[in-house]
Each structure stands twice: as C-alpha cells, then as structure tokens.
Amino acid sequence: MGGFNPNNYGYRVGLMLMVFALCSSSSFCSLTRLTDKVHVRVFNSLSSNHKLDIHCKSKDNDLGLHTLSYKHEFSWHFHVNIWGSTLFWCKMGWRDNRGVYVNGSFNIYDYNKDKYKCGDIPNQSGPVSHVCGWYVHKDGLYLFDPYNPGMSPELTYNWPPHPQQGIQNRTTGEKELGN
C-alpha cells in the first residue's frame, strides 16, 4: 500500500489547487499581477546644458548606465512579480553650474507604493498596463502620469544634500555613477 508520496500526481494537483485558492483570496499574492505590465519613463528636465547620468536596476535586472541629454528619456517595461514586491531603483547624477556632481539613489518603482500612483495606459486591450513618468529637475524628481495632462507632476524626491559641495570632484567627462 502506498503511503504519503509528494511525487504523486494527485498530491501535486491538490497542492496547486490549494495554493491557487489561497492566492486568489489573499492580498499576499495575486495571479492578476502576472499580467500587469509597467512602463517606466525617466526624462532629463534639468536644462539644455546639463546631462543626466542614470543607472537603474532591480534585484534581478541591471539596466546599465546611460547618459541623457536634455529632454531625452530612458524607459523600460516589465511585469510585476506574483508577490507584489517588484522594486526598481536608480542612481542618478548631474554636474551643476559650479561643477559639483549632484547625485542620489531613488526607488523609481515600488509596486506597494506606486501601484495606485502610476496611470493606466488608455485603450489597452488585454493585460493591465501602467505607466510611471518621472521628470528629473534641479530640485528633485517629479512623478507624473503621461496620459493624464490634468495631473500635476508631484515632487516625490529631493536631491540629497552634499555637505562639502565645494570639495567634490570637479573633473568632467567621467562617469561618476558606480554600481
């Protein structure tokens, strides 16, 4: 006679049904998140003579270092994970008029925080698609919905203070953002 066998087909089907039932009735995990697609767009809105260095990543994806000219954008898209813990952060920096390199690291998409702040893409058939737009200004980063012109951009992050601004590296042409 057979005892408990986790390799048994019936056991695996029962376990899958139990996980499905728990996930579909819980906020801990949701199968609808598997189809949610998010677009993130970051715009250099500093000024015409300021380039923006940007290096974005998640736990699983490194999107590389990019330098954006004024009014240019860096964008990417991804699917939200089933646990709702998707997080992307970006290190950004730019050189001010005094030659000081202003930089910081920011959570650019956090599912738990941004799922209701980012707009839905209109006329989208199929899976839900969301878009988070960011304007990078000299005073900080502004979150906005590119598909809702009535929504004012919201100052979400200020640049971190630099206590020794006059002493920082003033060389130009180097990428100053590391890992």
Task: Report DSSP state, residue 118.
Answer: S
152 vs 7: which has the higher pLDDT:
152
Pairing relation of β-strands 73-79 and 37-44?
A: antiparallel
* Residue 168 CA neighbour count, 13 Å, CB half: 16
Q: How confident is the model at residue 3 (pLDDT cuts 50, 70, 90)?
A: low
* This model's pTM is above 0.85: no
CATH architecture of 36-167: Sandwich (2.60)
Least confident of 40-54, 123-137, 142-156, 164-178: 164-178
- pLDDT, tens digit (0-9, with 9 covering 90-100), for 79-138: 888 888 899 999 999 999 999 999 999 999 998 888 778 887 766 566 668 889 999 999
Q: Are residues 109 and 88 in contact, defined by beta-carbon separation less than 8 angstroms?
A: yes
pLDDT confidence bin for 48, thresholds 50/70/90: very high
